[in-house]
Structure formats: C-alpha cells, structure tokens
Amino acid sequence: MKECLINHTIKLVSINSVIGNEKKIADYVEDFLLKYFPSSNIIRHSNSLIAFTDFNLHKRTICLLGHIDTVPGSNDYTGKVIDNRIYGLGASDMKGGLAVMMTLIEYLKDKDSNYNLIYVFYEKEEGPYRDNGLEPLLKEYDIIQRADLVFALEPTNNTVQLGCLGTMHAWVMFKGKRAHSARPWEGDNAIHKAHNLLKKLSEFGRVEYDFDGLKFYEVINATMCHFSGGRNIIPEEFKLNLNYRFAPGKSIQQAKMNLIEFVGDEVEIEFTDVSPAGRVCKDNLLVMELVSKYNLKIEAKQAWTDVGRLSEYGIDAVNFGPGDPAQAHQRNEYIPIDNLMESFNVLSGFILS
C-alpha cells in the first residue's frame, strides 16, 4: 500500500486548494469516491463530501474525517519525494491524512469490516469558525452523529491527541482624546491606557488543567493591535486583539466571563471568533482499545481542532493523523512516508481486527 499512499499524497498536493478554492480538489475526491461507493452513499454539500458504507445495526460506527483546504503558502518541491519525505503545500496539514483515508477506501473495498465506516472530506477548516464546512454537514445531515468515534486525521505524528483547547478572539478597546503629539496634555493617549492590561498579559504565563493525567494549558495573548491617527497624533482609540485558549470542560459562556473578568470593566470588549473546547474522551471504549492494541502514546491537544465542534454535537472524537505538526503551515512543507505507512497500518488493522 506504500505506493498508493505516495501516489495519493502527490496527487493531492498537486491540486491547489487554498481555503476558498476547494472546488477542484472536491471534484477530484468525488470522482474517486464514485469508484467505490454507490451514488446513494455519497453526499456532496458545496465542496464537502460524505461517503459511507451500508449500515449494519449490529456493528459500531467509525468516522474518518479530514479537511481538503490549506492555508496560503509556497513550496519549491511540490510533488517531489526527497529523503523519504513527500513535499507540497498541505502535505502534513492535512493531505497526507486524506491520502490515508483514500488508501483505506481502496484497501477495505472487498473486506468485511468490523465497523460501519463514514468518510468525511470537508472545506474551509483553515478560516473562521462560523464558515467551516463541517458545520453544515452536522446541521443538515445526521450521519456523522451515528459515529461511536471520529478520527480527525489532523497532524499528530500518529500520537492520539485527546480533546482540544477552545479558542476565542476579542477586541479590547481603549478610548482617549485626540491631540497633537507636541501638546499631549491637551489629549488623552488611548495607547497608554493599555499599559495595565499589557502588564497583566506579560505576567499571565499559563494555567494548568489536569484531565486524568493529561495536562492542558490556558494562555491569553495580545496578537494584534490597531490605533487611530498618525505618528504625530495622540490617538483617541486603541484596540488589542486578545486570543484566549481555554481548557476543556469550560463552556463558551464561562470562557467569555473569564476573559471579561480578566480585562476588567473599564474597557469595551467585542468577541469576534469563538470556538468550543473538545471533550477529553478517555472513557470511550474504542479509544482505549486502539491505544492498548497498538501501544500508542496519548497526549493533550494543546491547540484547537474540529474535535471541539464535534463535542458540541455530543460526538466523541480524537486527533490521530500522519502529518508532522511542526510542518503545518511551513514553507516547503513535507510529510514523512513512514508516518503515512504507520497511520495506515494502525487504522486498517484496527478496523479489521
């Protein structure tokens, strides 16, 4: 199957699918799926796809899920194999994972699986939470909700990463009075008003949350700023974008209240993008079977993935994929071929065991 994994990955990275430009790769994936599934078992919604085997009520259900878009970027070696690595934009995040899904579809076509299987290929993961292509699939169809466990094939180096941090962005706004910078006493500098908050942010560090031995770290950072005026003007308005990464177990409302309390009531706050945390489903029997059978390492997901979105729908999910997290969004991104093989061997063995 090594050749299949390599060929699928090379073909996928050769198709430009920067977020918002997913039609070509969705068409390619749909053509592939039609070779292995009847059209009645394929759902296409915009540029997202679901394919599924016929359901047997006596079997449990596994879903394999991956996004088809990438961030913008460049790669000087697209489609080349160098030192047992495949290069291309999105190779690790996460077209290598998609290649594993497609190879599994080919491999399992004539085999009797112990599970009902659902495969999801979806658009617009790399953008705002509200535009994500997985959301309409969950809202308008109930098939993913049938899964006893979802594997999100995000890059994890084939480590099982449980849960995920929630994340929110918010503008914190400071108001002052405009003046000439030569006569600052005639105004009120909005930038200077942020010094107390910036000091608190610099001293925040991280707050640890323990989930049965898995440690998540809450952090708050200023990531962008905006001001009114010019370099010789005392600004009347200054805004900081705060990014708060919050622990599993907290609702969005709780996290919002935490951030409001942190910044204080002397400034305005406007939430712009909010994504829920993911449940740490260490109690899911399929997770424990997988980890035990293949002696896999378990980690906390110190980032956000659509495991959080799935948790909002009551669906247990884990992050498990062949990509190298350190390669995600990098120039000249690559994926090790050995990672592809390991991921395929674990998932195919588990599905058939």
**Position 44 pLDDT exceeds 90:** yes
Both tokens assigned to 27: 């068409």
**Position 149 pLDDT exceeds 90:** yes
Give the span between the Cα atoms of 270 and 175, in whole angstroms.
Answer: 14
Peptide bond into 94 cis (omega under 30): yes
Mean pLDDT of 156-174: 98
Average pLDDT, the chain: 97
Backbone angles phi, psi at 323, to 5 degrees: -65, 155
Residue of 212 and 117 predicted with greater confidence: 117
**Position 162 pLDDT exceeds 90:** yes
- 162 Cβ contact list (under 8 Å, min separation 6): 211, 214, 278, 280, 281, 282, 287, 298, 299, 300, 301, 318, 319
Q: Residue 332: pLDDT band by 50, 70, 90 thresholds? A: very high
Question: Tens digits of per-residue pLDDT, 55-69?
Answer: 999 999 999 999 999
**Position 49 pLDDT exceeds 90:** yes
Name the burial class of residue 150, with classes exposed (0-12), middle (13-18) and buried (19+) by CB atoms within 10 angstroms of its CB: buried
Question: Tens digits of per-residue pLDDT, 284-327?
Answer: 999 999 999 999 999 999 999 999 999 999 999 999 999 999 99
Both tokens assigned to 143: 């098939």
Give the span between the Cα atoms of 180 and 161, in whole angstroms.
Answer: 54
pLDDT at position 353 is: 84
Give the span between the Cα atoms of 205 and 102, in whole angstroms.
Answer: 42
**Position 82 pLDDT exceeds 90:** yes
**Closest alpha carbon to 306 in 187, 103, 104, 137:** 137
pLDDT at position 229 is: 87
Question: Tens digits of per-residue pLDDT, 132-142?
Answer: 999 999 999 99
Q: In what order do the strands lie in the sheet with 334-336?
A: 81-82, 85-87, 334-336
pLDDT at position 266 is: 81
pLDDT at position 114 is: 93
Which ranges of the chain would DSSP assign to H, the alpha helix? 2-14, 23-33, 96-108, 134-140, 195-204, 252-263, 285-294, 307-312, 337-352
Residues 342, 158: contact at Cβ < 8 Å? yes
Mean pLDDT of 277-283: 96
CATH number of 166-275: 3.30.70.360
Residues 306, 138: contact at Cβ < 8 Å? no
Question: Tens digits of per-residue pLDDT, 7-37?
Answer: 999 999 999 999 999 999 999 999 999 999 9
Alpha-carbon Rg for the chain, nearest whole angstrom, is: 23
CATH superfamily of 2-164+278-352: Zn peptidases (3.40.630.10)
DSSP sequence for 213-245: TEEEEEEEEEEEEEESS-TTEE-SEEEEEEEEE
- CB count within 10 Å of CB 308 equals 23
Residues 256, 270: contact at Cβ < 8 Å? no
For the chain, the structural domain boundaries read: 2-164+278-352, 166-275
Q: Per 3-state DSSP, what percentage of the chain is helix, strand, and coil (rounded to 5)?
A: 35, 30, 35
**Percent residues over pLDDT 70 in the chain:** 100
Which ranges of 1-153 would DSSP assign to H, the alpha helix? 2-14, 23-33, 96-108, 134-140
**Position 328 pLDDT exceeds 90:** yes
Residues 89, 74: contact at Cβ < 8 Å? yes
Mean pLDDT of 344-349: 98
Mean pLDDT of 81-88: 98
Both tokens assigned to 113: 């699986």
**Position 219 pLDDT exceeds 90:** yes
Give the catalytic positions in this structure.
Answer: 69, 125
Residues 105, 96: contact at Cβ < 8 Å? no
pLDDT at position 265 is: 84
